[in-house]
Amino acid sequence: MSDVAEALEPDVAPHLSHSRKEGPRLIITRSAAPPIGAAAMTSDPALAADLAQRLGVPAGQVRLFFEADEDRQVPFADRWPGDLVPRIRGEALFFNEFVAGAEIDGRWLHVTRATQEGPDPGIMRLILLVGANFTVLLPFAWFFARRLSRPIRQFAVAADRLGRGDDAAALPLEGPAELRTTAQAVNNMQARISAFVRERTAMIGAIAHDLRTPLARIAFRIENADDALRTPIQNDIEQMREMISATLSFVKAEAQPKSHVPVDLGLLLARLAESEASIGRNVALSGRRTATIDGDPVSLQRLFQNLVDNAVAFGGAAEIELRREGGAALIEIADRGPGLPEDKLETVFDPFVRIEPSRNRATGGVGLGLTIARMIAIQHGGRLTLANREGGGLTATVTLEIGTAQ
């Protein structure tokens, strides 16, 4: 209302134009006749009297027509029953179209809202201000977000290493108090699990070691027995000795500290294939690629040796292939043996599980080779899977993450 009253002042009206920068954009015209409202407009004597009072003229010299505002949700506005427009601190607000007029010096001044051409300048200024603030604050927001999320990323990486063996580093006690408390709890859990595994491993090793003595006494005492009795018992004793030796070897591998050095898988596999070929075993490495990982060369040698032994024992030959996919090295060791039932491809990784029921060394040992192989792969942050091969046979696939130097 104050903008309308200002526009109708005789000494102000000549200076107002479409280029007005503050307040609403108004069109001011002069006419001999009073303004007439459109069909959709209405009038309010109280508002017209308010405008006349502001101009200091009689109410009969003022006309005011407007479209009633039906919106009852204007923020901070006073709205009483019967009001046609909202008010803020007594000031009438015209959000819709209006036309006002006042008779000044025998002629009528008409005021209407100018048609908006293009975006509203106030809205554009607000958009530019928000955009500028966003541009300025974005680098700071990114920096602080990285700082805040860094302890969480470190926690996730360190937690992922906990399942790779007892030598995994403890989680760093960094970041918010809640994260430090969680890291400490995980470290305590890891320490308890490691102690439990060491105790169980030592117990198994001690039992396996102590069994050698009674087996030796049994073998000595049956020397004078009849051949019909002595031969099967001696075969059983030999199988038990094989199982004990494999168990002790497994325990020693668990207890032995692991080194972590760059290992060239291509060179390691080439030496393995050459060594196997030198003793007359049909083992071939297709192609020659380089892929370096951070790991223990002795453990990795044992991993691939176990898989090659299985391939030769059940398929008569082993085909080794090394390739790279993204950030990982894939080592496939395949054979043309009988393969495995689909429901046994995971079961054979359990300790002492063999599809062929005997424990004869000639038919595959005691059932710890695949268990040890998968354990070594997991300790190196990788995985070992088995799949039946098209045309017959089995393929063992080892996936290991390539070192950052690659």
Q: What is the pLDDT of residues 377-387, one digit of tens each?
A: 888 888 999 99
Model pLDDT for residues 291-309, shown as the tens digit of each residue: 888 888 888 998 999 999 9
d(CA 101, CA 33): 10
Q: What is the pLDDT of residues 93-102, one digit of tens each?
A: 888 889 999 9
Cα of 278 vs its chain's centroid, Å: 48
pLDDT at 16 over 70: no
pLDDT band at 231 (very low <50, low <70, confident <90, very high): confident
pLDDT of residue 152: 79
At position 391, the amino acid (one-letter code) is: G
**Which pLDDT value is given to residue 331?**
93
Q: Which of residues 398 and 205 earns the better pLDDT score?
A: 398
pLDDT over threshold 70, residue 44: yes
318-325/283-286 β-pairing: parallel
Work out the pLDDT band at 122, boundaries 50, 70, 90: low
More confidently predicted of 228 and 318: 318
Q: Please answer whether residues 26 and 113 qualify as being in contact, where contact means their C-beta atoms are separated by less than 8 angstroms.
A: yes
Residue 231 tokens read as 């031969």
Q: Band the pLDDT of 14: cuts 50, 70, 90.
A: very low
Q: Beta-carbon neighbour count of residue 91 at 10 Å?
A: 13
Q: Which has more confidence, 86 or 268?
A: 268
d(Cα 305, Cα 312) in Å, to the nearest integer?
10
Question: Given pLDDT bands bounded at 50, 70 and 90, which one contains residue 371?
Answer: confident
With cut-offs at 50, 70 and 90, classify the pLDDT of residue 197.
confident
Nearest to 291 by CA among 272, 309, 311, 270: 270
Q: CA-to-CA distance for 78 and 88, rounded, in angstroms? A: 6
In the predicted model, is pLDDT for residue 73 greater than 50? yes
Contacts of 44-48 with C-beta under 8 Å, sequence gap 24+, read: 44/84, 44/85, 47/1, 47/84, 47/85, 47/92
Determine the pLDDT at residue 202. Answer: 75
